[in-house]
Amino acid sequence: MALLLASTSPIRRAMLDQAGLDYGTASPDVDEDAVKARHEGSAAELALELARAKALSSSTEGDAKWVIGSDSVLEVGGKLFSKPGDRDEAAAHLRYFSGKVMQLTSAVALARDGGIDWDHADTARLVVRDLSDEFIAAYLDADWPEVSYCVGVFRMEGPGVTLFDRIDGNYFTILGLPLLPLLGALRARGEMLA
């Protein structure tokens, strides 16, 4: 098998499936909290660092020629957010996001033989509408625990679309993987038909 996805994300797997890729999966062995704690730089640089670390964590496994690592980082009002730890934290995140702009950066990296061969980051801008406490409670009733696994507490492929007034950016980036640049990189490396 030429490709290995170093991710447990069902949406990333779905994107690769829909693109018709043949790949295996591995759970990346990365201490994300440690990476975030020592990181100095932009959200885009952090997303790239996490994507690279995930790709490298599995780059010598099995028969894979290329390992795909990906991650997303959310910045709102100059503050970085991670996935919520529980439903109360998810509600607190949504109250903070209300009426603000999310900057969601997703990054992808390709590793081979223990080294990074290619990477890419892309940022989408999502304008959150004003959210009432009643809406937040109903929203979490409808989509919990699924959104607990999502930075930003939303799934664009679910009710999360109702959080926004406007979205500027690539759909795949918002889902968590800059898919079109990745497919281009795989074609350039002979892993897909050109």
Cβ-Cβ contacts under 8 Å for 47 (sequence gap 6 or more): 71, 72, 73, 105, 106, 107, 121
Q: Is the peptide bond between 159 and the residue preceding it cis, with omega within 30 degrees of 0?
A: no
Output the CA torsion sign for 74, 21, 148, 28.
Answer: negative
Catalytic residue among 17, 29, 71, 113: 71
In this structure, how many other beta carbons lie within 10 angstroms of the beta carbon of residue 98? 16
Q: Establish whether 71 is a catalytic residue.
A: yes
Residue 55 phi, psi (nearest 5)? -65, -45
Which sequence positions are flagged as catalytic?
A: 71
